């Protein structure tokens, strides 16, 4: 087998990164934009010792689950890897991805149920993070998602997985940058003004928080005028913020954000609780699917505990802690992002919730100082999962139950394996489809200590 060889293959399954897997004489080939049961003519584009990458030359016989993508840019934009597969089958493939991760990484032979479907599969994504660049000749501003496996921006005018207002705001920013002398960012030269456009849209109110990420340490005069122009143009915009990021890094947001006009948050409502979401605070991109997760966790706690004491770790804006506060005796929420803690405190005060205790600290360091045990512990770490140090402390503080919420099956499986080696048992894993048309899948694992 050589690069540029053309082969005829049948796709067996999907990888955990959403690419099709075929085998030729036992040798694994990963094929982009391929669906299980596709019969394809492919061309080898990359060859390694243990596997090859390939692209489709011709679809000889399409899978019965292959459909026409509803977005014209699906093949070039890297955001929706699975949009050419019918939604019900997407759920089954994601179930298989979770099951495979649990067995191959975690050594856990547990039957995984079908994911809970997203209530919406279009316009579901309520957080938008577009990188910004500028063309060399025409100086046109580009904003959109990256092409697959590249930093080349697909200039997106319409994205059907986001609320329509996002398209209008981004287009306004693209066009009006010229009037205010604001340039797009050049990643290679680390030059230019506007690096990213970040939008947060409330599913409850329709309001939008706009954050412009700039290659600057302060708000310069024309940038301030531009923010005011955006705020005046759209009644849906609750506020315009500027985030400062002068580092030569792929990290989107810098540490400091300034609200230039309006409010520095939007309100979101889940399970009859109102939350404040700021520019730098974590909140799920799909609020309606998130509500299914919070309801699932709240119901489990209500059905299995009476007046429990709960530790809410990696708490963000204490979404879990606040959501379950009326079925808990006390909730201790710990989060290292100070802005998130501030937004959570605003909600507690406005809602007159007295039984949620907030701590701004690293989870592992905070847990080391605690001597009391908790009836249940909720873990909702970032994609990289938990450190062994954090898991050891969580085990020490847990009376009986850990509820682990994860957006990454691989790191969840790794952490569950570690917990099982320490004597725990995994009672159940329920997937939730938070990120429709992508290979990503959220899971809630119930662990008995």
What residues are labeled active site? 407
Q: Tell me whether residue 441 is exposed, middle or buried, using C-beta atoms within 10 angstroms of its C-beta: 0 to 12, 13 to 18, 19 or more.
A: buried
Q: Which of 411, 359, 414, 415 is nearest to 392 (CA)?
A: 415
Using CA atoms, how far apart are residues 101 and 16, in angstroms rounded to an integer? 8
Q: Which of 25, 124, 161, 116 is nearest to 431 (CA)?
A: 116
Query: For residue 69, how far is the Cα from the chain centroid?
Result: 22
Q: Which of 402, 353, 336 is nearest to 374 (CA)?
A: 402
Q: Where are the alpha helices (DSSP H) in 129-207?
A: 164-176
Q: Which of 99, 69, 73 is nearest to 85 (CA)?
A: 69
Strands 374-379 and 330-335, how do they pair?
Answer: unpaired
Using CA atoms, how far apart are residues 278 and 270, in angstroms rounded to an integer? 16
Using CA atoms, how far apart are residues 223 and 228, in angstroms rounded to an integer? 9
Using CA atoms, how far apart are residues 405 and 198, in angstroms rounded to an integer? 25
**Which residue in this structure is represented by tokens 């230039």?**
260
Q: How many CA atoms does the CB half-sphere of 196 hold within 13 Å? A: 24
- Go through 76-94 and write b for each residue having 16 or more CB atoms within 10 A of its CB, e for each that does not: ebbbbbbbbbebebbbebb
Q: Bridge partners of 242?
A: 212, 258
């Amino acid at each position: 087998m050589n690069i540029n060889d053309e082969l005829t293959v049948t796709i067996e399954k999907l990888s955990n990164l959403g690419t099709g897997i075929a085998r030729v004489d036992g040798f694994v080939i990963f094929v982009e934009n391929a669906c299980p049961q596709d019969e394809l003519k492919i061309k080898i584009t990359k060859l390694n010792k243990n596997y090859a990458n390939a692209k489709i030359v011709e679809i000889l016989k399409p899978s019965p689950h292959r459909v026409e993508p509803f977005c014209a840019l699906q093949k070039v934009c890297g955001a929706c890897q699975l949009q050419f597969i019918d939604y019900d089958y997407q759920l089954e493939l994601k179930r298989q991805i979770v099951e495979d991760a649990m067995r191959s990484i975690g050594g856990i032979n547990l039957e995984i149920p079908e994911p809970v479907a997203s209530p919406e599969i279009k316009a579901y994504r309520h957080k938008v993070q577009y990188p910004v660049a500028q063309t060399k000749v025409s100086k046109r501003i580009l904003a959109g998602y990256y092409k697959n496996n590249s930093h080349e921006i697909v200039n997106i005018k319409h994205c059907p997985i986001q609320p329509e207002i996002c398209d209008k705001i981004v287009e306004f920013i693209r066009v009006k940058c010229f009037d205010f002398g604001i340039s797009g960012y050049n990643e290679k030269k680390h030059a230019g003004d506007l690096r990213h456009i970040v939008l947060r849209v409330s599913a409850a109110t329709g309001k939008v928080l706009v954050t412009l990420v700039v290659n600057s340490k302060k708000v310069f005069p024309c940038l301030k005028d531009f923010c005011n122009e955006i705020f005046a143009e759209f009644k849906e915009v609750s506020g315009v913020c500027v985030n400062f990021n002068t580092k030569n890094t792929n990290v989107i947001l810098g540490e400091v954000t300034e609200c230039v006009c309006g409010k520095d948050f939007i309100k979101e409502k889940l399970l009859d609780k109102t939350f404040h979401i700021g520019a730098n605070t974590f909140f799920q991109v799909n609020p309606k699917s998130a509500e299914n997760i919070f309801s699932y966790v709240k119901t489990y706690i209500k059905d299995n505990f009476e007046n429990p004491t709960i530790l809410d770790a990696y708490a963000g804006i204490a979404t879990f802690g606040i959501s379950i506060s009326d079925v808990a005796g006390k909730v201790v929420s710990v989060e290292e992002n100070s802005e998130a803690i501030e937004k959570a405190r605003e909600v507690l005060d406005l809602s007159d919730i007295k039984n949620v205790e907030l701590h701004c600290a690293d989870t592992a360091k905070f847990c080391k100082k605690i001597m009391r045990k908790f009836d249940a512990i909720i873990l909702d770490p970032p994609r990289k999962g938990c450190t062994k140090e954090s898991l050891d402390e969580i085990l020490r503080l847990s009376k009986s139950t850990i509820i682990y919420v994860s957006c990454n099956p691989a790191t969840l499986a790794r952490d569950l394996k570690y917990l099982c080696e320490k004597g725990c048992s995994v009672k159940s894993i329920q997937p939730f489809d938070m990120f429709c048309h992508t290979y990503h899948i959220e899971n809630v694992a119930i662990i008995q200590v």
